[in-house]
Chain A
Amino acid sequence: MSATTLNPAAYVDPRTLPGEVGMVESPRKRWLPFNIWHLVLFPMALIMVVPLLWVLVSSLETLNQTRHFPPILWPGTFQWSNYPNAFNAAPFGRYFINTTIVTVTVVASNLLLCALAAYAFARIDFWGKKVLYFLLLATLMVPLQVVLVPTFLIVKDLHMLDSLAALIVPNLANVFGIFMLTQFFRTLPIELEEAARIDGAGRLKILFTIVLPLSGPALATLGVIQFLWTWNDFLWPLIVIQTPTNFTIQLGLMNFQSAHATDTNLLMAANVMSTIPMLVLFIAAQRWFIRGIATQGLKG
Chain B
Amino acid sequence: MQISAGRAAVAAADEAKHRRRGDKGRRPGDSLAGWLFVLPSVVLIVIFGLVPIVWGFVLSLQKASLISPDRPFVGIDNYTKIAHDPLAIQAAQHAVTYTFLFVPISMGLAMFVAIALNRKVALIRTYRLAVFIPVAVSTIATGVMFLWLFDKTFGLANFVLEKAGLGPFGWFDSVKGALPSVVIMTVWGWLGFDAIVYLAALQGIPAQLVEAAAVDGAGRWSTFRNVTLPLLGPASLLLMVWSTISAIQLFDEVFFVTKGGPVNATSVPVFYIFKLAFTSSYGFGMAGYAAALAYLLFVVIMLVTLFQFWAGGKMVHYSA
A residues neighboring B (CB under 8 Å)? 1-8, 10-13, 16-19, 21-26, 34-35, 37-38, 40-42, 44-46, 48-52, 54-55, 58, 66-71, 113-114, 116-117, 119-121, 124-130, 132-154, 156, 169-170, 172-176, 178-179, 183, 186, 203, 228-229, 231-235, 238-239, 250, 253-254, 257, 264, 267-268, 270-271, 274-275, 278-279, 281-283, 286, 289-290, 293-300
Contacts and interface: CB of A to CB of B under 8 A. Distances in A.
A150 B1 contact: no
Nearest to A24: B118
A44 B13 CA distance: 37
For B11, B33, B113, which residue has the most chain A Cβ atoms within 10 angstroms?
B11
A71 B135 contact: no
B297 A145 contact: yes
B128 A19 contact: yes
B122 A35 contact: yes
Interface string B275-302: 0011000000001001100110110011
Contacts of B246: 299
Interface stretch (B83-91, B169-177, B193-201): B193-201
Interface string B162-194: 100000000000000000000000001011110
Interface residues of B, number: 133
A49 to B, nearest CB: 5
A183 B17 CA distance: 11
Contact of A299 (B44, B125, B193): B193
Interface in B5-28: 5-19, 23-27
Given A147-B52, A186-B18, A294-B200, A132 B42 contact: yes
B37 A203 contact: yes
Given A44-B113, A44-B116, A116 B41 contact: yes
Contacts of A69: 153-154, 159
Given A13-B204, A19-B128, A254-B140, 20 more contacts: A12-B200, A35-B119, A35-B121, A40-B116, A48-B130, A51-B156, A54-B156, A117-B37, A139-B50, A147-B49, A148-B274, A172-B44, A228-B136, A234-B140, A250-B138, A257-B140, A257-B256, A267-B148, A275-B138, A299-B242
Contacts of A295: 200
B4 A117 contact: no
Nearest to B67: A156
